[in-house]
Amino acid sequence: MRIDPELRALRGDRTSQRKAQKALERVRDDWRNGTAREVLEELGSYGEGATFEDCPALCALFDDCAEAGQLVTALMQPMMACLSRNPLGQVPIRHQHSNGLSVLQLAYSGRAALSVLSYSELDFVPGASACFAGGERHEAVLVGSADVRMLELLAERDQSAAIDCTTRRVMAGETLRFEGREQTKSILQVHGRMVILRLSRTEEVPADACEYALEDGRLMHRASGSRQESGREMKAALLGRMGRRDAAPVLARMTREGSDHLRWQAMRECLALDSGVGFAALSDLAGNAGDPLAATAGALRAQLIETYPQLARLDETPCPA
């Protein structure tokens, strides 16, 4: 493996690296305590549930894109200057890049976040689907332009949705607002580069996020809008992939609390890990007429017994496995 001489030298000079990182963090903190102080104070209120209209500093950013641009410039100019002096430092702001979209999360508080999004013409690939996730978003186009689909969710069925679509070009100086789960946008083509300042807030009780194919409206993916519940779902799936049979009783308990989506995912993993524990939990669900999953559980139970008749005896005898 080739190691650049600068990196090799840095490995032997940890003090220099710490100083570089401190310098970048100082730029960020100076911005937060100076130019952005009032905005970030209101971000805290907004994240706790205050209305957008009750946050004048935030409103000003999306009433006049010039103010939004000044806020971002006040951070990025000194940050880039500091980075040029410390090229091996790490910008102390959460960031990510994927498929032509770069995101910098400038700040977050409670349910609210303030972020900069940069779309690249060369790398960006338009999506064939759209995700309706709910919440509230305000966007100010700082630089560039793009052709955009404005999407509205008209009706949802079990495995599909009716979506209204209009296409237009958005340009620097424009502001956009999306409220609720029924509205979102999809980027078609970026002209050069487009940079957006976004203020977002999740709902107090997040609804499921649903991704639909734009061609025919079919449901492609459904996920919990709650980070906590999504985390529990991923843990259940991980336990299943690891083959942790000892986790089956825990998964069985998970079938009794949380959203229907999480409970059913836990049920699937429990059945796969331990047929006895899983089938008992499935029978409990099927036998509770007031449970929204009762009919689905009953149908699966009947299907499993038809395929594996020995399962019918599991309610009476211990699982031989």
| Whether 189 and 231 share a structural domain | no
189 close to 171: Cβ distance less than 8 angstroms: no
Bridge-based pairing state of the strands 175-179 and 112-120: unpaired
What is the spatial distance between Cα 10 and Cα 23, in angstroms, rounded to a whole number?
16
Sort 25 into a burial class: Cβ within 10 Å, 0-12 / 13-18 / 19+. middle
Exposure class string for 158-168: b at 16+ Cβ within 10 A, else e: eeebebeeeee
Handedness of CA 223, 137, 119, 126 (dihedral sign): positive
Question: Cβ neighbours of residue 52 under 8 Å, at least 6 residues apart?
Answer: 46, 58, 59, 136, 138
What is the spatial distance between Cα 211 and Cα 23, in angstroms, rounded to a whole number?
42
∠268-275-319 over CA atoms, to 5°? 160
Phi-psi region of 285 (alpha: psi -120 to 50; beta: other; left: phi over 0): alpha
| Residue whose C-alpha is closest to residue 131's, from 234, 229, 221, 197 | 221
Question: For residue 204, what are the domain limits?
Answer: 12-223
| Whether 242 and 125 share a structural domain | no
66 close to 74: Cβ distance less than 8 angstroms: no
- pTM, rounded to two decimals: 0.74
With respect to residue 6, please indicate whether it lies within any of the assigned structural domains.
Answer: no
Position 320 confidence tier, pLDDT thresholds 50, 70, 90? very low
Check which CATH number belongs to the domain holding 56 and give it: 2.60.120.10
| Whether 21 and 154 share a structural domain | yes
Helix (H, G, I), strand (E, B) or coil at 225: coil
| Whether 204 and 60 share a structural domain | yes
Position 321 confidence tier, pLDDT thresholds 50, 70, 90? very low
Averaged confidence pLDDT in the chain: 88
- Identity of the residue numbered 223: A
> How many Cα atoms are found within 13 Å in the side-chain-facing hemisphere of 319?
11
CB atoms within 10 A of CB 59: 16
With respect to residue 103, please indicate whether it lies within any of the assigned structural domains.
Answer: yes
Note the pLDDT tens digit of each residue in 45-74.
999 999 999 999 999 999 988 999 999 999
Question: Considering its fold, how many domains does the chain have in total?
Answer: 2
| Whether 254 and 176 share a structural domain | no
| Whether 238 and 300 share a structural domain | yes
Last residue of a domain, one of 223, 246, 279: 223
Note the pLDDT tens digit of each residue in 272-290.
999 889 999 999 999 888 8
- Identity of the residue numbered 87: P
| Whether 187 and 38 share a structural domain | yes
Position 227 confidence tier, pLDDT thresholds 50, 70, 90? confident
Mean pLDDT value of segment 216-228: 80
Which token pair is 130?
Answer: 């759209």
Residue 262 has pLDDT above 70, yes or no: yes
What is the spatial distance between Cα 135 and Cα 131, in angstroms, rounded to a whole number?
12
| Whether 233 and 193 share a structural domain | no
The fraction of the chain above a pLDDT of 70, given in percent, is 93
